[in-house]
A = this chain, B = another copy of it.
Amino acid sequence: MLERQPRRNTAQKRMILRSIEQLGCHPTAVQIYTAVREVLPRTSLSTVYRNLGILVDQGKIKAVKGAGSEIHYDHNTGAHNHIECTVCGRVCDVHVNPVNIDTLNPETVSNYVVLEVRINILGICPECAEQLEKEKLQ
């Protein structure tokens, strides 16, 4: 959490952050790795993972877990919610009314100290819904 080490500004770190911003819809480590390697072809997957960890620690990106086993990375660090396509697995931002933590009754939340309320919507994205419709007609 606390930041003390000097951090060098490397080409890989810059490209990793830029890729997350440009890819949109919360890419996975491998998707970021693939994008970064188009510009810096010798970049290793471990460098991607290490920098993703640093960027999360610095609060510059957020790690998002979906229904699948991969971690997705999000450059929007504000409070917001996610929608995930159960067919293609993509994770995107979605704007439903957030739950205000202060309105939660301590007893209904089992006397926990509430830190965060996450709303995750599962559904089928328009592209996958269209594709499924086509397949059904055949």
- Which residues of A are in contact with B by a Cβ distance under 8 Å? 65, 67, 83, 85-86, 92, 94-96, 99, 104, 108-126, 129
Chain B residue at smallest Cβ distance from A93: B110
Chain A contact surface mostly: strand
Chain B residue at smallest Cβ distance from A86: B115
A82 CA / B136 CA spacing, docked (Å): 36
Contact status B118-A124, CB under 8 Å: no
Minimum distance in angstroms from A102 CB to a CB of chain B: 13
Residues of B near A123 (CB, < 8 A) are 109, 112-116
A123 CA / B124 CA spacing, docked (Å): 30
Chain B residue at smallest Cβ distance from A87: B113
Contact status B86-A109, CB under 8 Å: no
Contact status B94-A108, CB under 8 Å: yes
